[in-house]
Amino acid sequence: MSLNKTSFIELAIKNNVLQFGNFITKAGRESPYFFNLGSFNNGESLKALGQFYANKIIETNIKFDMLYGPAYKGIPLVTAIAISLAEQGINMPYCFNRKEIKDHGEGGVIVGASISGNVLIIDDVISAGTSINESNKLIRDNGGNPVGVFVAIDRLEKGPLGLTATEEVSKNLKLPVYSIIDLLDIIDYLDQSNNYLDELDKIKEFQKTYGIT
């Protein structure tokens, strides 16, 4: 595991973003861990989160012209990432959507830069892929070309078709999907630590039951 991934997992644990216990997922499964990016809720942790995303984007060498974040969790994400990229000499426009169309002032559903060119979709995690599908349509409807999706974590859980949510999105939309970490990275991290033996056993069993082989 790279130092970048290790550092991200440690940051997530420190900020209670990555929690261990008994949780019910959106799919109705009982999960021994929970990942809530909304707990990066102060300036220091949000700045660090933006840097991790920015580093991942740069690492992939993907060509893009702007960033888009879907409301609501995508709004602070895309803002923090744009700032982090600018600090590394990559000044990119960004925008996000409103949940409801504004009928006064500047109006419209898009806040920030006008959508154009190759667009990166920024989100926290892919569950059913609904948010990414909506983002893809909105970008195309406004003249942009989605070229990739970046999320914080890939849970690597199989869906009804035997594919993970990220694999289904990638296949259906023909877009590459990148994550800072995935469940196997978390397992590797816990495997190297003596502090999470019970949690490690439960997560391995969960991955064996619901995850990719």
160-178, pLDDT tens digit by residue? 888 888 899 899 999 999 9
- The predicted-structure confidence for 81-126, as pLDDT tens digits, reads as follows 999 999 999 999 999 998 766 554 455 789 999 999 999 999 998 8
Locate the domains of the chain by residue range. Answer: 3-210
Across the chain, what does the average pLDDT equal? 92
Distance CA(147)–CA(121), nearest Å, equals: 8
Residues designated catalytic: 102, 104
- The predicted-structure confidence for 134-157, as pLDDT tens digits, reads as follows 999 999 999 999 999 999 999 998
Q: What is the CATH number of domain 3-210?
A: 3.40.50.2020
User: What is the pLDDT, as a whole number, of residue 125?
Assistant: 87
The beta strands (E) that lie in 7-130 are given as 18-24, 30-35, 66-69, 94-102, 108-112, 117-122
Whose structure tokens read 């060498």? Answer: 61
pTM of the model: 0.92
Q: Which residues pair with 144 in a beta bridge?
A: 117
Q: Which helix (H) or strand (E) holds 52?
A: helix 43-60
